[in-house]
């Protein structure tokens, strides 16, 4: 335990998010009292042995207003010294109400203007291109299909929403006609989209996890690459591994300064095989889903969060173990069933070298089963909706 933090009480939102597990473990080890907010008793955070308290209530992005009301009520109860969001929508709720809620607790999210700006993929690309940071060639100030065609951009191109996550709304077009027909048929407002060059299919996706202290100084950064996905195109990374890319850290440091982000943030990259450059794709202004890999590799961002929150000197942590892997075994098994590369993937699906599971540990096994059953339940709901 750390005497500096004993007696402090932290509220962690989204008990269904797998990243709650390494943070709860770390906070407990540091001596904090931990409360996890869940929407189901089957959330992996709810069944974990680490929280001292479990609160049930609405916590879903599909019920934004109800979640917002509940989160505000919880924070205003005055029971918590610190509040940590784990996913986009709850981080957005806290960012919107940060000024008001900061009277009751330390809110661990970016200020609203910084949060919204960093979530805007088009704005991130504008900052990168204006400051010479590597990124896909992106078009700006578009009003019509003719503006895109007249820009001289080479096909194939991709379009995606300015604000969103995952592969939702992502589309690739190989010809002007295909692009024109799609936009016209759906009445798409190009002002709300990111339109940019299409990087090669064999790019390696990577994420740089950075911690920026209250003074805007980077105090840690570790990079991991995603080697497998499910669904196979644009899905969740099922096997991630730490890599050494000092160039990525340098880009992240500069981008963080330009955007004004603080705390835990993830910056996504695609490593272009044509020139080896890691090109910025987007910023995730919150804790990343695969944050466990950092703890295993030797970067304790939970400690940095607390030191920064209580205005203590933040311990720098830039050295980390490379080739540490974290596997989402439940979903990685689906990859094995569906992928034509099941016996050719590198690293091999059958290799357990330097690999830990995302949700399983021998001293806290129940979250693995909760995550599995939760996934099966969500699949059942999806199947009913699409029959």
pLDDT per residue of the chain (387 residues) written in tens, 0 to 9:
899 999 999 999 999 999 999 999 999 999 999 999 999 999 999 999 999 999 999 998 899 999 999 999 999 999 999 999 999 999 999 999 999 999 999 999 999 999 999 999 999 999 999 999 999 999 999 989 999 999 999 999 999 999 876 556 789 999 999 999 999 998 899 999 999 999 998 899 999 999 999 999 999 999 999 999 888 877 788 999 999 999 999 999 999 999 999 999 999 999 999 999 999 999 999 999 999 999 999 999 999 999 999 999 999 999 999 999 999 999 999 999 999 989 888 899 999 999 999 999 999 999 999 999 887 766 555 444 444
Checking DSSP bridges between strand 106-107 and strand 82-84, what pairing results, if any? parallel
Instruction: For CATH 3.30.1490.20, list the domain ranges present in the chain.
Output: 137-197
DSSP 61: G
CA 203 to chain centre: 19
DSSP 321: -
- Please check whether the domain covering 137-197 is classified as CATH 3.30.9.10: no
Checking DSSP bridges between strand 263-271 and strand 204-212, what pairing results, if any? antiparallel
The CATH code of the domain at 9-109 is: 3.40.50.720
What pTM, to 2 d.p., does this model score? 0.93
CATH architecture entry for 204-353: 2-Layer Sandwich (3.30)
Instruction: For CATH 3.40.50.720, list the domain ranges present in the chain.
Output: 9-109
Instruction: For CATH 3.30.470.20, list the domain ranges present in the chain.
Output: 204-353
* Residues whose CB falls within 8 Å of the CB of residue 61, separated by 6 or more in sequence, listed in order: 67, 87, 88, 89
The two tokens of residue 173 are: 């077009």
């Amino acid at each position: 335990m750390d005497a500096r933090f004993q007696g402090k009480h932290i509220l962690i939102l989204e008990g269904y998010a797998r990243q709650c597990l390494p943070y709860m473990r770390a906070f407990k080890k540091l001596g904090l009292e931990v409360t996890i907010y869940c929407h189901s008793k089957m959330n992996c955070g709810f069944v974990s042995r680490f929280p001292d308290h479990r609160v049930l209530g609405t916590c879903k992005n599909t019920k934004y207003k109800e979640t917002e009301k509940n989160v505000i009520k919880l924070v205003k109860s005055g029971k918590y010294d610190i509040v940590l969001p784990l996913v986009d929508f709850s981080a957005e709720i806290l960012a919107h109400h940060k000024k008001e809620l900061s009277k009751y607790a330390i809110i661990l999210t970016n200020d609203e203007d910084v949060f919204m700006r960093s979530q805007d993929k088009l704005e991130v690309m504008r900052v990168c291109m204006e400051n010479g940071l590597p990124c896909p060639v992106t078009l700006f100030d578009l009003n019509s299909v003719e503006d895109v065609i007249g820009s001289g951009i080479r096909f194939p191109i991709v379009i995606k929403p300015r604000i969103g996550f995952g592969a939702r709304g992502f589309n690739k077009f190989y010809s002007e006609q295909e692009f024109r027909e799609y936009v016209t048929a759906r009445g798409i407002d190009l002002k709300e989209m990111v339109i940019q060059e299409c990087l090669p299919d064999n790019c390696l996706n990577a994420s740089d996890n950075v911690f920026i202290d209250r003074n805007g100084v980077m105090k840690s950064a570790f990079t991991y690459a995603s080697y497998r996905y499910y669904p196979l195109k644009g899905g969740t990374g099922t096997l991630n591994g730490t890599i050494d890319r000092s160039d990525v850290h340098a880009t992240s440091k500069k981008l963080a300064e330009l955007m004004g982000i603080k705390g835990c943030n993830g910056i996504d990259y695609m490593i272009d095989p044509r020139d080896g450059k890691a090109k910025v794709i987007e910023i995730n202004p919150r804790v990343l889903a695969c944050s466990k890999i950092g703890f295993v590799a030797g970067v304790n961002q939970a400690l940095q969060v607390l030191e920064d929150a209580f205005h203590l000197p933040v311990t720098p942590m830039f050295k980390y173990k490379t080739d540490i892997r974290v596997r989402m075994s439940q979903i990685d098994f689906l990859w094995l069933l569906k992928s034509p590369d099941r016996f050719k993937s590198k690293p091999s699906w059958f290799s357990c070298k330097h690999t830990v599971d995302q949700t399983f540990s021998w001293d806290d096994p129940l979250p693995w089963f909760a995550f599995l059953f939760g996934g099966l339940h969500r699949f059942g709901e999806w199947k009913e909706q699409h029959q």
